[in-house]
Chain A
């Protein structure tokens, strides 16, 4: 046994590291939970007609109350906007639901990048490494909710506009009420 100790250690190290990595990804998420849902939009990049003023979503022309869920109002000097669709992300259920602009305008929003409980929405990474030690791990189009050394992949509903997928997502604000 003592003679084989280096061999056993050499085989045990990778196995232990795999278990450690799996544990560090999944276990903290059990104890640390985000509390604030957030509002986001998908659609074309230019000519977005909405603004957040005094913590509420407003549409640049027309009123939020008159807007429909597939509003496309061009900004002066910009090409016509793609359809902009709004979603509320439920962080507890880890899923999105579509919301009409009129209802979104009723929400109280915090537009800071970091939520009141210390989370932020970030892009996915490339995964690091080089051939053949990486493959299929990276995804810049994915979004994660990251904070307190914990990160969780988001199940976003994204509608592609004229631009590549990652640019069809726009974070608007944390829903405080």
Chain B
């Protein structure tokens, strides 16, 4: 195949709606990156393969969410009136039906993101449908073991769907259900074991956040770059939130986490320059401010006096705010 044949084939596929513009651009960039000829990314520019959500897409997703909420309320309000087949049809049936519609619509580029809205309906109603089946079998759906089963089945379903259809939306739901499974299954393993309390949850959140950021970094330059923003934002939120929580509160504070946290927050601020992510800059600054307030409240109110501690904390918050604005203007703005 020569270049003209390739260009003609792309035109033909585009005319038939069989390939998206972003897919062509993503394929080009992957090949160029492999050959070392990829252009340097422009700070603040739209990355290849990253779709911006327009008003239509937002409305699709809101509509999909409202449909799912409506189904859940329908089943909840009429639980005793509905027979098992009725409950199953309203939940699992709706999920599989929405999934089938999504598969059909997602094939045609002309329908845009409508297919993703139906994937959302399917994702929200699938766990409810599985729960209906288990409840009918007399299994307690509130236990951690049963919830692990529901989360695991949902995760497996959407992960395998992703490998078949290769859609970003399916990858997103796979990640979300995988996260749910990770938390609920470890809760099931620990149960009410007194060795595994709140600190156990914080460590799980810490590693989940780290995992999100690594996956986001891995997807950033590929076909699923649209997921990177979400993964970075929630990843750093979970990571810094857990790290701040692990510091504890005086007199039972954890000195390791209390001492290391400002380093983590500052590293986040400066990492935002490297990866060009406003979410890192925002959360790094926000958590540094929270840390300053926390430390002031813990250690400086009795020694220095409450008013002086407030003045000191306020000045430090101003400094962090200025650092945020400076970094944003210099490295984030186009």
**Contact digits for A138-164, partner B, Cβ 8 Å, 1 yes 0 no:** 111010101001010100000000000
Partner of B193, one of A9, A140, A153: A153
Contact between chains at A139 and B191 (CB < 8 Å): yes
Complex: A126 Cα to B144 Cα, angstroms = 13
> Per DSSP, are chain B's interface residues mostly helix, strand or loop, or mixed?
helix
Cβ of A30 within 8 Å of any chain B Cβ, yes or no, is no
Please report the total number of B residues contacting A with Cβ < 8 Å.
44
Contact between chains at A10 and B212 (CB < 8 Å): yes
Cβ of A93 within 8 Å of any chain B Cβ, yes or no, is no
Chain B residues near A18 (CB-CB < 8 A):
182, 185-186, 189
Chain A residues near B204 (CB-CB < 8 A):
17
Cβ of A76 within 8 Å of any chain B Cβ, yes or no, is no
Q: Within residues 138 to 196 of chain B, which ones have a CB less than 8 A from any CB in chain A? A: 140, 142-147, 178, 180, 182-196
Chain B nearest CB, measured from A2 CB (Å): 11
Complex: A10 Cα to B197 Cα, angstroms = 25
Q: List 25 A-B contacts (CB under 8 A).
A: A9-B214, A10-B210, A10-B215, A13-B210, A17-B204, A25-B190, A25-B193, A124-B192, A125-B194, A125-B196, A127-B187, A127-B192, A129-B183, A133-B184, A133-B187, A133-B201, A133-B205, A134-B187, A135-B142, A135-B184, A136-B143, A137-B188, A139-B191, A142-B192, A146-B194
By Cβ-Cβ distance, the 9 closest A-B pairs, closest first, are A7-B218, A124-B192, A10-B214, A10-B215, A139-B192, A137-B187, A128-B198, A128-B201, A129-B201
A interface residues (Cβ-Cβ under 8 A, vs B): 4-11, 13-14, 17-18, 21-22, 25, 122-129, 132-140, 142, 144, 146, 149, 151, 153
